[in-house]
Structure 1
């Protein structure tokens, strides 16, 4: 292919990365705040431009091709470079906090942002939702100043500051006999198939749940993977006996009456949320870390 024929714009790369990470056209569209046909059109244009197929699509699943998998790190590098260039020309990086966030942090996120704003008079916030692994990579390569990550494990190139702990709760069909109990133990759930995210999406969380189940005396029988909150809860609500585990803060927004949310008695099922920064924190991250240190000295963790 002649170099003049190779036309990629940043919008196409943004759509490509969203689909590569979600592997679902509907979820990618939701993340990009566009309709699903727009995602399909941009991917098709990019594939025509490159002359290669980036995704294998069937009625049941979307998978990266070999060429698509090769493009992922290159596309991330391009988008990170653009972010760094934009930050460099805007200011010294102190006024804009680029923060990777997890789902349903509620008032705890508000507290952190307020701590930053108190120290920076004209503070601006750029919040990014992505998978835990993607948040970690973006902190490491400079695309984000910091990220909030649940169950973060030590990793080269980043620092972890534990911020708070959350308990986990069980979600099961509202019509199941165990839904009548005010609290549950893991052992009571041993005969029900469990739905978890794929391990490569959040290995620390999955390992903690599986280890806790084994400590309770059983190896859980895994059901279809947890896809997204809405779809998984609907499917559990219409199932006979499947269940899943959610962070307590996430469970607060569960609205469907077809599922029951029950606290778990197992003490080991607590998840730490950490503030992740580069080993040498960038200016905005340094300000946030200093603000947190001052706020938390001699006090319980935020939230």
Structure 2
């Protein structure tokens, strides 16, 4: 049996929304047509993937397994299409992802010296998509900030750097030269607590498990705006704070927080000469400890 990728895309939309109406809106198709496609997929698989009752739409055990496998499969299909289109252009191309605050120029300079005919493209990534761009083919190799989900990836450490807290001008703590996690425990963190586990462990213990909702923040610029208005604090790598300077936000060292780890990542099954040459170039030029 050959799986229909369109049906898989429809399934993933319903699985992520857990609501046929919202999934149909997201896919821009009619809800009855979506329901028919899901039933057809279940017939193809010989298993029910959703449990539909008065409580709503829930994934069955088979559905949970299908979701786990379908997301990377669809990403691989998108990657295949992108790479074939690039290959058809006839010019070797390497797309390099990088996180904010990281300077890629030294590595690309060495790489282009070794691969002068290659077309180099750069792609700025975020915490939300730094792995996704590798899996779906938007980037061939990426300079990432750990932790990331490493399944299916080759990861090579480059360097570590300190992290700092961003505070608004006028905050009482800005009179200090550095702060500790306990000093920040009562502040509103504008990030997923799991991104700063030291803060999470101290602050949530003091507050209990309740904390205000954090808006979805996808860009450093958004964090800076919110910090400047006094909406909360953010913890970022030192290089990010140095790159995105502004007069109404003050960065301060945090004494008892682990450094941020920067690494190279690429899809483990891909070992092209372009990727390998860039990995070597980045390791040579960026793979040094930073204070």
Question: Which category describes the TM-score, using the shorter chain as reference length?
Answer: 0.5 to 0.7
CA deviations 1:96-144 (Å, max 9, x no partner) are 2111221221xx3111211211111123212223444533244245443
Please show how residues 120-269 of structure 1 align to structure 2 within 5 Å: 120-132=115-127, 134-153=129-148, 155-196=150-191, 198=192, 206-207=193-194, 209-211=196-198, 214=201, 222-225=211-214, 227=217, 228-239=219-230, 242-266=232-256, 268-269=257-258
> 1:172·1:236 contact (CA, 8 Å) conserved in 2?
yes
1:98–1:146: 8 Å Cα contact kept in structure 2? yes
Tell me, yes or no, if structure 1 residue 285 matches structure 2 residue 275.
yes
Structure 1 counterpart of 2:97: 100
Structure 1 residues 149 and 103: alpha-carbon distance in aligned structure 2, compared to 1, 3 A threshold: same
Q: How many residues align?
A: 233
Does the 8 A contact of 1:101 with 1:127 survive in 2?
yes
**Structure 1 residues 151-205: Cα deviation after superposition (integer angstroms, max 9, x where no partner):** 1446232110111212111111211211111211222222222221x4xxxxxxx
**Structure 1 pair 97–258 and aligned structure 2 pair: CA distance change class (3 A):** same
Distance 1:293 1:254, change over 3 A: closer
Query: Cα gap change, 1:222/1:129 in structure 2, threshold over 3 Å: closer, same or farther?
Result: farther
Pair 1:300 & 2:288 matched: yes
Judge conservation of contact 1:168–1:246 (CA < 8 Å) in 2. yes
Q: Is the 8 A contact 1:208 1:269 kept in 2?
A: no
Partner of 1:62: none
Secondary structure class of the residue paired with 1:135: coil
Shift, 1:222, TM fit: 4.5
Given that residues 234 and 256 in structure 1 are in contact (C-alpha distance below 8 angstroms), is that contact kept between their aligned partners in structure 2?
no
1:214-248: CA deviation from partner (whole Å, max 9, x where unpaired): 369955774442623333323322327x3221111
TM-score by length of structure 1 reads 0.62
Residue 104 (structure 2) aligns with: 109
Computed over aligned residues only, the root mean square deviation of the Cα atoms, in angstroms, reads 3.9
Q: Gapped runs of 5+ residues in structure 1? A: 1-19, 21-43, 54-65, 199-205
CA distance in 2, matches of 1:239, 1:295: 38
The structure that has the greater radius of gyration is: 2
TM-score after normalising by structure 2: 0.64
- In structure 1, how many angstroms separate the alpha carbons of the residues matched to 2:26 and 2:226? 34
| CA-to-aligned-CA distance 1:241-262 (integer Å, 9 cap, x gap) | x322111111113444332211
Residue matched to 2:40: none
